[in-house]
Every structure is written in structure tokens, then in C-alpha cells.
Amino acid sequence: MAEVMVKRPYHVDLKELMRVYETNYAKLNALLPTQPSVDDLRCYQAAQMTYQLQVLEVTKYTTLVEICQSDDISVFPLPTMSVRLYHDARVAEVHTSDHLSRIKARHDYPNEKMVQKDEKAQINRFLGDWLTFCLKHGISRQPINFSHP
């Protein structure tokens, strides 16, 4: 007999998402200057690809960083992302990405841009994977000052 699929609504796993935010904060801080200033730039070479992190904004409690791939021709391009670090909460989340100017915690599906229901969780997990890749395999073009905020 045919089984009936019950469509369950998507619920954000807040505990998992906060864990991702916290680990991304720690990883990103290891790649940024100790006391970042607007327009600070860090470049990393990893697996014949070049990535850059640029500080766009610094306030008392937050820092906004743009992350992009700076190769002339890239086989697997990294989406350009802006990531906001919240220093009081010690978390970092993707603020915008190439195709999204605002990433919601949950999207209705299907939608006009065909954004997945859990797009926010996916893009933040991707950021975590990319940061791990840079920390393990990347070579900085500038000396890295490790800080313990």
C-alpha cells in the first residue's frame, strides 16, 4: 500500500544555530586583527585560492566583516558574505550573502528566489566549514595576531 507523507513544518533548531554562531565567532576572531579598524584587510592563500576579509564597520559591541574570494578566475567561487560579530554575546552570523540581502531564520518554500527553508542555518554552517578550511590550510599574507577577547 502507498504511504502518505506527512509534511512537517520547519522549525529552527535554535540550540544548534547558536552553537554554530559561537564557533564561527571564535574561528573568525582568529583570522582578524586583534583590534580591528574600518578598512582593515586580511588575505589568505588556501589551496591555490585567495580569500580576503575586510572590516566594514566597527562599533562598541559589533564588527561587520565582508568575506570574499579575490581570485581573478575561480573554479568554485565563494559567495561574498557580510558577517556581523556580536562581541557582547560572542557570536557571529552571516548578515548578507550574494543572493540574499537579508537572511531570515525561516523561509516559506517554495518562494520566488527558491531559498531553502533553512537557508540561514545552511549559510552559517558553510561559513563555519570555510573558516575551518582557512584556519587549517590557509597561509596569511600578513602576520596574524591571535587575541583572546
Please report, for the chain, the start and end positions of each structural domain, with discontinuous segments joined by +.
14-28+38-98+115-139
pTM of the model: 0.79
Strand intervals (E) in the chain: 41-46, 49-58, 62-69, 81-86, 91-97, 139-140
pLDDT for 97 equals: 83
pLDDT for 124 equals: 93
- The pairing of strands 41-46 and 49-58 is antiparallel
pLDDT tens per residue, range 10-35:
676 889 999 999 999 999 999 998 89
pLDDT for 147 equals: 46
